[in-house]
Structure 1
Amino acid sequence: MADKSVEKPNLDLEPDSYNFIKKFIGCTDNDDFITLDSWVNSSGVNSGDLLLQMDIEGAEFAALINISNALLKRFRVLVFEFHHLDEFWNPRFFNVAELAFNKLLETHTCVHIHPNNCCGTETKFGLEIPKMAEFTFLRNDRIKSREFATTFPHPLDVDNEGKASLILPQCWYKKV
């Protein structure tokens, strides 16, 4: 775990059962930030598949662009909370997000998207985009079926807040 905003994780576990660094994940190494590559290299986990879950308040796009292809291929499963998706209409944001998603999709397939019901959606040009959503990616060598899901919400989806549920808009999964 990496998080500069807390002193230590709030876990009921022995400290030797997890790895924690008080830094933010970013695109450079300094007193406050560490790259994913540097973090994994310093962890001592030098081989085998990894799982990454990331919720870093909008910095996920830069961190993904910065990750090496070798490390990206080690992640069997990737779970990201993508923020500011309603900014897809902004060409500068779109260019950065496109780089991150294209990089991910070279090695992984998106297998699930769950909109975060905290912030609603943005609709333009007939497309409805959740402002925040959690995406799950599975490495391509693990994909057995490329069928689209058609029932939403998924039974395992849980709302993030006590607001009305936010169902994944059809434009995100329906073949056109």
Structure 2
Amino acid sequence: MGTKKITLKKVKNKISNIILINLRRIFNVLGYQISENTDKSKILELIKTVRPYETNLGLVRLGGIEDGGYVVPNDLIGIEACFSPGVDKESGFEIDCLKRGMQVYMADNSVDKPNIDSSKFNYNFIKKHIGTTSNEDYITFTDWVNSSNIETNRDLLLQMDIEGAEYLTILSADESIIKRFRIILIEFHFLERLWNDDFYSLVEPVFKKLLKTHTCIHIHPNNCSKIVKHNNIQIPPVLEFSFIRNDRFTNKEPQVNFPNELDNTNLNNIPDVILPKIWYAD
């Protein structure tokens, strides 16, 4: 019976793999992750893919001048309803939508009700988080939209700020639901973690799914976090993206004027964060 030769290098590699596997298990229990770094070329390609375009529609601002306000395409006439998961103290955006004749649907399990005067405005609110399953505390995005019983041929607007839950929410949503939204506004969180290959593998298909039917027309960094620079790539951890459905515009060209005159700081007591050029031009 022959003896199997094992080199010292193979032994070291095997031990290293065992240690890494166990470290991952330990850190996962503690709420941390160990992952391979994402290849720089993948990060660059993703950034290039999501770069914004200027369309023939123009831009306007909805909501307050600080946090809670968004730069949106000037294509609001005829939108039936705004869906706004994630409720904060500031509801200026939703009030602007109500003033424009939209129905407003809000969802959040962390508050009892929105900061909107119900004697002046009618709105729909459910005390549930948006998630990947529907139960007592959560409701899927698809179930939530369908529960409104709005006719499927009516256009909708989405404004989503749910502190990191946006990725799984979009991935689990029916594509037919995504297509119903003429305008999509999403604040994406933890983008500095794109260098973590596991996180990149979560984020990349989210943007790929959105860009099947929509085009990015604006990006604005939330100045709640400083820009993180790694491998000469600057990534703002929190970015507000504005998308328009592809059937709504007739022409587009790269948007290269940043910041936009409609942009404003989210928090006025700390320095502003300007979108790095790599996010809109070479």
Q: TM-score range by the shorter chain?
A: over 0.9
For 1:7 and 1:142, locate their aligned partners in 2 and report how far apart those are by CA, in whole Å: 36
| TM-score normalized with structure 2 length | 0.60
2:141 aligned with 1:36, yes or no? yes
Quick check: 1:19–1:43 contact (8 Å CA) kept in 2? no
Partner AA of 1:126 in structure 2: N
| TM-score normalized with structure 1 length | 0.95
Larger radius of gyration: 2
Q: Which residue of 2 aligns with 1:165?
A: 272
Q: Aligned match of 2:211 in 105, 125, 133? A: 105
Structure 2 portions without partners, runs of 5+: 1-105
Quick check: 1:121–1:130 contact (8 Å CA) kept in 2? yes
Q: Aligned match of 1:76 in 182, 191, 196? A: 182
Ranked by relative contact order (alpha carbons within 8 Å, sequence separation 6 or more), the top structure is: 2
Deviations 1:134-161 (Å, cap 9, x if unpaired)? 0001001113332122222111111011
Closer/same/farther in 2, CA of residues 86 and 74 from structure 1, 3 Å limit: same
Residue 10 of structure 1 and its aligned partner are, at CA, apart by: 0.9
Q: Which residue of 2 aligns with 1:22?
A: 127
For the residue of structure 2 that corresponds to 1:147, the secondary structure is: strand
Q: Percent identity?
A: 49
Partner AA of 2:108 in structure 1: D
For the residue of structure 2 that corresponds to 1:106, the secondary structure is: coil
Residue 59 of structure 1 and its aligned partner are, at CA, apart by: 0.3
For 1:113 and 1:14, locate their aligned partners in 2 and report how far apart those are by CA, in whole Å: 35
For the residue of structure 1 that corresponds to 2:254, the secondary structure is: coil
Residue 35 of structure 1 and its aligned partner are, at CA, apart by: 0.7
For 1:56 and 1:38, locate their aligned partners in 2 and report how far apart those are by CA, in whole Å: 17
Q: Aligned match of 1:52 in 158, 164, 178? A: 158
Bigger mean CA deviation after superposition, 1-10 or 159-168? 159-168
**Equivalent residue pairs, number:** 175
For 2:253 and 2:232, locate their aligned partners in 1 and report how far apart those are by CA, in whole Å: 24
